[in-house]
Amino acid sequence: MSDFYPNVRPVAALKARVCIAQGRLGEALDWAREQGPSAHDDLKYLREFEHITLARVLLVRYRSDREERSMHDAMGLLERLLQAAEEARRMGSVIEILVLQALAHESQGDILSALVPLEHALTLAESEGYVRVFVDEGMPMAQLLSEAAARGITPDYTARLLAAFEAEEQKSADGSHLPSAQLLTEPLSQRESEVLRLISQGLSNREISERLFLAVITVKGHNRNIFRKLQVRRRTEAVARARELGLL
């Protein structure tokens, strides 16, 4: 089916990520078996999101059953994805891949090795103020950031991220946590959130249209909706506002 309806692919991968976040590993594994790419595919820009999602599935599977093959495939895939993203200067993807490499080493108990890609990710992310890309990874990342702080790695930025973790925990503890989308008068749709994420990675309208299999005019329409809902006028303002709200 996906050969005839290619836009199904990124949507299915996004659903797999939701399954991972909600602890539904079985459903994420079903996606990987039935619709997902292989860890050994030739890498293509248009399927980068799917391949990164596959790496996430493999890492979660390793945490669950300690299957060495899963870790081996994940690490090999992440290394190839990193090289491709760096060559194309897709910095948003580079940061996410480095974060996953750090978590892969952490899951094996190798903290020193984990700090190498984590420091690289922090160095790249600090100037842009990324928060969610770290906070959304949960306690394993919080522990790694604590280790980074103890070693003086990007101290100001690391402290800010740890404070964000503490704020999340406090919201959960007092029951006041609201999904980020509820902070907006009119929440972003799922598709608008996808477009916003790609905008934050520096992709042009045409590149976004190719990634999501949409017409360029449709992407421009999503841009207008995003700007209106975030109450901004341009891309850089949209990204900054989204980070303030924890949407990125």
Q: Tokens 């089916």 label which residue?
A: 1
CB-based burial of residue 210 (10 Å sphere; 0-12 exposed, 13-18 middle, 19+ buried)? middle
Report the b/e string of 143-172 with b at 16+ CB within 10 A: ebbebbbeeebbeebbeebbebbeebeeee
Q: Tokens representing 11? A: 């949507």
Nearest Cα to Cα of residue 47 among 79, 84, 72:
84
Q: Tokens representing 116? A: 């190498």
Give residue 188's pLDDT.
84
Helices 111-126 and 139-150: crossing angle in degrees, nearest 10, is: 90
Per-residue pLDDT of the chain (248 residues; tens, 9 = 90+): 333 334 446 778 888 888 888 888 899 999 999 887 999 999 988 899 999 999 999 999 999 888 899 999 999 999 999 999 999 999 999 999 999 999 999 999 999 999 999 999 999 999 888 988 999 898 899 999 999 999 999 999 999 999 988 887 777 666 544 444 445 667 888 888 889 989 998 899 999 998 888 899 999 999 999 998 888 888 988 888 888 777 87
Give residue 174's pLDDT.
60
pTM of the complete model beyond 0.85: no
| Spatial distance between the Cα atoms of 208 and 155, rounded to a whole number of angstroms | 34
Domains and CATH numbers, the chain: 1-89 (no CATH), 112-176 (no CATH), 180-244 (1.10.10.10)
Q: Tokens 């391949």 label which residue?
A: 51
Which residues, other chains included, contact 248 with Cβ-Cβ below 8 Å and sequence gap of 6+? 130, 131, 132, 133, 196, 197, 200, 239, 242
